Amino acid sequence: MKSIKVYGPGCKRCETTVEMVKEAAASLGVEAEVEKVTDPKAIAMAGVMSTPGIAIDGKLVHSGGLPDAAKLAGWLQG
Protein backbone atom coordinates (compact mmCIF):
# COMPACT_ATOMS: atom_id res chain seq x y z
CA MET A 1 0.00 0.00 0.00
CA LYS A 2 1.54 3.25 -1.12
CA SER A 3 0.61 6.57 0.37
CA ILE A 4 0.60 9.22 -2.31
CA LYS A 5 0.16 12.92 -1.73
CA VAL A 6 -0.61 15.40 -4.48
CA TYR A 7 0.21 18.96 -3.47
CA GLY A 8 -1.65 21.82 -5.08
CA PRO A 9 -3.93 24.69 -4.13
CA GLY A 10 -6.72 23.41 -6.36
CA CYS A 11 -5.82 24.61 -9.80
CA LYS A 12 -6.93 22.67 -12.84
CA ARG A 13 -3.57 21.02 -13.36
CA CYS A 14 -3.60 19.76 -9.77
CA GLU A 15 -6.95 18.03 -10.33
CA THR A 16 -5.65 16.50 -13.53
CA THR A 17 -2.58 15.23 -11.69
CA VAL A 18 -4.73 13.52 -9.05
CA GLU A 19 -6.70 11.78 -11.79
CA MET A 20 -3.51 10.75 -13.59
CA VAL A 21 -2.05 9.25 -10.43
CA LYS A 22 -5.23 7.34 -9.65
CA GLU A 23 -5.55 5.97 -13.16
CA ALA A 24 -1.89 5.03 -13.33
CA ALA A 25 -2.06 3.20 -10.00
CA ALA A 26 -5.22 1.36 -11.06
CA SER A 27 -3.89 0.29 -14.44
CA LEU A 28 -0.61 -0.90 -12.92
CA GLY A 29 -2.38 -2.73 -10.14
CA VAL A 30 -0.53 -0.76 -7.49
CA GLU A 31 -2.49 -0.35 -4.30
CA ALA A 32 -2.40 3.30 -3.43
CA GLU A 33 -4.11 5.81 -1.27
CA VAL A 34 -4.15 9.17 -3.01
CA GLU A 35 -4.51 12.24 -0.87
CA LYS A 36 -4.95 15.78 -2.09
CA VAL A 37 -3.12 18.44 -0.08
CA THR A 38 -4.47 21.95 -0.64
CA ASP A 39 -3.32 23.77 2.50
CA PRO A 40 -0.64 26.27 1.45
CA LYS A 41 1.25 25.73 4.68
CA ALA A 42 1.39 21.97 4.20
CA ILE A 43 2.44 22.45 0.59
CA ALA A 44 5.27 24.73 1.61
CA MET A 45 6.39 22.45 4.44
CA ALA A 46 6.67 19.58 1.99
CA GLY A 47 9.21 21.61 0.06
CA VAL A 48 7.00 22.04 -2.98
CA MET A 49 7.64 25.38 -4.69
CA SER A 50 5.81 24.90 -7.90
CA THR A 51 2.59 22.97 -7.96
CA PRO A 52 1.38 20.34 -8.52
CA GLY A 53 3.86 18.28 -6.52
CA ILE A 54 3.75 14.55 -5.86
CA ALA A 55 5.16 12.68 -2.87
CA ILE A 56 5.13 8.89 -2.62
CA ASP A 57 5.52 7.39 0.85
CA GLY A 58 6.83 10.67 2.14
CA LYS A 59 9.39 11.21 -0.61
CA LEU A 60 8.91 14.12 -2.98
CA VAL A 61 9.27 12.84 -6.54
CA HIS A 62 7.85 15.62 -8.67
CA SER A 63 7.16 19.33 -8.58
CA GLY A 64 5.80 21.72 -11.18
CA GLY A 65 3.57 20.87 -14.11
CA LEU A 66 1.86 17.67 -15.09
CA PRO A 67 3.95 14.56 -14.49
CA ASP A 68 5.22 12.55 -17.41
CA ALA A 69 3.14 9.36 -17.73
CA ALA A 70 6.12 7.03 -18.13
CA LYS A 71 7.93 8.58 -15.17
CA LEU A 72 4.80 8.37 -13.06
CA ALA A 73 4.63 4.64 -13.75
CA GLY A 74 8.26 4.35 -12.73
CA TRP A 75 7.66 6.08 -9.39
CA LEU A 76 4.62 3.96 -8.66
CA GLN A 77 6.48 0.74 -9.32
CA GLY A 78 9.69 1.79 -7.61
Burial 6-28 (b: 16+ CB within 10 A, else e): bbbeeeeebeebbebbeebbeee
Binding mask 4-23 for another protein (x = CB under 8 A): ---x-x-x-----------x
Q: Any catalytic annotation for residue 65? A: no
Helix-strand-coil split of the chain, %, nearest 5: 40, 25, 30
27 lies in the site for another protein, by CB under 8 A:
yes
CB of 14 to another protein, least distance (A): 8
CB of 63 to another protein, least distance (A): 6
Positions 50 through 69 that interact with another protein (CB under 8 A): 50-51, 60-66, 69
Q: What are phi and psi of 61, to 5 degrees?
A: -115, -15
